[in-house]
Amino acid sequence: MAKTLIANLLTVGLAATGGAAGTYAVLAHQGAVPPALAAGASPEEARKAAIQTAAARLSGDEPIADLVERVGAAVVNIDTETRQRNPFYGQDDPFFGFFGPFGGMGGGNPHQGQGPFLVRKGVGSGFILEADGYIVTNHHVIAGATKLRVTMTDGRKLEGKVVGKDPSTDLALIKVEAKGLPTLPLTDPGTLRVGERVIAIGSPLGLQHTVTAGILSAVNRDVQVNPRVGFLQTDAPINPGNSGGPLLNLKGEVIGVNTAVARDGQGIGFAIPVTTLKQVLPQLKAKGRVERAWLGVGVRDLPEERNRMFFPVDKGAVVTQVTQGSPAAKAGIIPGDVILEVDGKGIGSASELIWTISSRTKGEKVNLLVMREGQRKRLEVALDRMPEQVSRAMADPEPQAE
């Protein structure tokens, strides 16, 4: 059907331009026919080529291929080495000493042969944000790494160093010494549309520069692996090694960083959204870490039986605890309050409150609408910087290195 339609369109174009040569010249100029073919082919050959090319473009395959050719060089492979002390080196392992590694009487320690240090290797992906060598990836890709090697699509291998990291959002910024590198732009968060076509580029299972395609399935997904990020959901296939690679729209703009997959689902992947990237990356470059705004409350979702509560509400976050001396305590928030709004924006869940506060800065004042024992109250809170001990508690412990 599509080919018939295209053929009819070409016939109309032929009549309008006054001849076969004119039609093929126009098509070649528009990219529908390869110029070399249009220049030296017979009219029939050029007509068939135009139909095939136009059909490919209608199917959506050609734009993706063109996009990958245009932006793919800005996606990199990241190999890591993590060097840890060997806890068994220089001592007998009682289990292996008696049974041996495969049962039966034996001796020795199989770990001793690896020396005083154990080296663990990993692989991930990343993309170049700035032409002078700044690269975005996941924190879990580089966590604890004592050596980073970045492989470009042209085969160059460059040593990388960590510039900044934020375990709370699972983002990291690394740097290689190079100039004039290809880059990927961050999209405008307001342009994201559920259902739009997206592609993921990365190194799944260590297979460098692999491209997969799908759609943006949902936004602001609450994924338990990280309560501080409202994830993008996609059905573009993502596998181990894709972590840190870009999720792109068909303009070649980064809409997110591929991070995780659903273990119990098929074809369900998650990406850190561009909104979070724009909040976090400037701080990682300038300070090496994120100074996160802090309210100082513990919260949970409304209980399922909320309709039987004596102050029923449909949405909000229930305050379960308030840290002494925190901004929340100073503003008069108490356990049992239900936070309904922040600066006039409705709060639907505990995670949504966390996302909202995390996007603010130290010293910023926010107006909260809370419900307390059936009465609505408005409170102004001056946010503070999250204390170091709280920030450290959210970070993954890193392995001991030399």
Instruction: Give catalytic residues, as residue numbers.
Output: 140, 170, 243
Reference 126, options 152, 145, 108; nearest CA is 152
Reference 63, options 226, 172, 213; nearest CA is 213
Give the list of residues 6+ apart from residue 158 with CB closer than 8 angstroms, or none: 133, 149, 150, 151, 152, 176, 177, 178
Reference 138, options 266, 238, 219; nearest CA is 238
> Hey, CA dihedral for 387, 388, 389, 393, is it positive or negative?
positive
* Angle of CA points 205, 206, 212, to nearest 5°: 65
Reference 248, options 136, 151, 157, 124; nearest CA is 136
Sequence-ordered alpha helix ranges (H) in 291-349 = 327-331
Helix H or strand E encompassing 258: strand 254-261
C-alpha span between 202 and 215 (Å, rounded): 17
Q: Is the separation of the CB atoms in 10 and 33 below 8 Å?
A: no
Enter the tokens of residue 143.
């966590």
Q: Is the separation of the CB atoms in 133 and 176 below 8 Å?
A: yes
C-alpha span between 252 and 210 (Å, rounded): 16
C-alpha span between 352 and 371 (Å, rounded): 17
Reference 66, options 211, 195, 189; nearest CA is 211
Give the list of residues 6+ apart from residue 396 with CB closer than 8 angstroms, or none: 139, 140, 143, 167
Q: By three-state DSSP, how is residue 246 classified?
A: strand
